[in-house]
Structure 1
């Protein structure tokens, strides 16, 4: 029997991929669903799957990092929401990817290629060159990082330097932007804002919350093992979802 794991830090894409795989490839056994890269790495070592479906953009350890760390142990298929500038980094057919939201037609194509590779016992593709090319493209895109956030408040336009923002939180159709002495709402979803943030400077701690890493004063863990963080410059306490709790575990 062919086996696989799925790794994605978002619940809905992970569950939807599993649903489509169950439909397209019912004999495929999903051994584990992982919420972050470290968990995926552990699952690959423990379960030894034939295939790993890995989201490229996971916090901390990315899907590419996982594939590189387990080089040669299983075939990797990357899921990504990146635009074409990153998609072009994938070599034709050697390493597969699925652009989110994943369509059944595209998944069927990937499954067909995987079955061919497994039946012919092709060696697992080396991701080193892909990592170098993608890293080069992402560094090039990094020059377009957000420096200012502008928010309309009545007849006034407020300007927030990215260096002064403590955290962003999703608020229905808006994103709340919070500084030490001010805040506002912008008409832009958090996911789009995150594309322009430096992931080393801003950490996602919840599906709807991104915080400035150097503003974190402390993290508290309750009796259920759930974390909340306190930030310097605000009295608000922010919840940390289980998917990102690994950031705060003692070294």
Structure 2
């Protein structure tokens, strides 16, 4: 059998390098021909290099991963890389599609490698029907505004080397941590690989309020709001934590 080849299409440098390193360790015979940081460049490379396998992130600048898979039309085995919530993961499982969750877990990558090694004996699966059934929620008919996406109910978060599914309702507040976000719950703190700004756009605006440039609070966990000489603070139920409210967000609490 010829040396198997692959292409990685991922816009974030750290997940891209981790995938490369993981594949090199678990499948040293696999030759990664190239990688791309956006969908348009990735599609051009895939059509030019004709790899056996394409690892593609769903959310990409330009052409998204699902649209890219449609364009390839069965030319390669596809593995979607996703940081989507549990609803999307469930859709992948029902469609028997290979997928990897970010942050990458070695055990999950090992399973995918083993499946791919067997699937290379057959032509790539035709994904057209599955892709038509599961379209990204942002797509809408021409001339029509996209329907609003449902707020996130589950969050994929890491704690050390372990991946967890955390209910958004259980999060007392979110705290910005550079490009990532810390989700604080009664069970501890979890790291989300999303900026606070990107996360806020996916949360229920009636339940989660931004009170500081680096803090978003879950109103269901707010015990009271206090005005002090140093400014306004939010106190949480069953916690000694005091969350500062920036001047620009204090007007939200005046009617309360």
Is the CA contact (8 Å cut-off) linking 2:6 and 2:33 kept in structure 1? Answer: yes
**Match for residue 25 of structure 1 among 27, 33, 44:** 27
- Residue of structure 2 in register with 1:194 after alignment: 198
Gaps of 5+ in 1: 146-169, 176-187, 199-251
Q: 1:79 to 1:26 in 2, by over 3 A?
A: same
The TM-score, its normalising length taken from structure 2, stands at: 0.55
Give the whole-Å Cα distance in 1 for the aligned partners of 2:116 and 2:193.
35
Is the CA contact (8 Å cut-off) linking 2:58 and 2:80 kept in structure 1? Answer: yes
Give CA deviations for 1:85-110 in whole Å, capped at 9, x if unaligned: 11111144731000111111100101
Give the whole-Å Cα distance in 1 for the aligned partners of 2:41 and 2:52.
17
Give the whole-Å Cα distance in 2 for the aligned partners of 1:193 and 1:9.
18
Is the CA contact (8 Å cut-off) linking 1:68 and 1:127 kept in structure 2? Answer: yes
Gaps of 5+ in 2: 140-145, 153-175, 182-191, 203-256
2:149 match: secondary structure: helix
Is the CA contact (8 Å cut-off) linking 1:68 and 1:128 kept in structure 2? Answer: no
Q: 1:172 to 1:72 in 2, by over 3 A?
A: closer
Give the Å deviation of 1:196: 4.7
2:195 match: secondary structure: helix
- Residue of structure 1 in register with 2:71 after alignment: 69
Larger Rg: 2
* Cα RMSD, aligned residues only: 3.0
**Match for residue 11 of structure 2 among 9, 12, 16:** 9
Aligned pair 1:50/2:57, yes or no? no
Is the CA contact (8 Å cut-off) linking 1:90 and 1:130 kept in structure 2? Answer: no
Q: Which runs of 4+ in 1 moved over 4 A?
A: 136-141
The TM-score, its normalising length taken from structure 1, stands at: 0.57
- Residue of structure 2 in register with 1:113 after alignment: 115
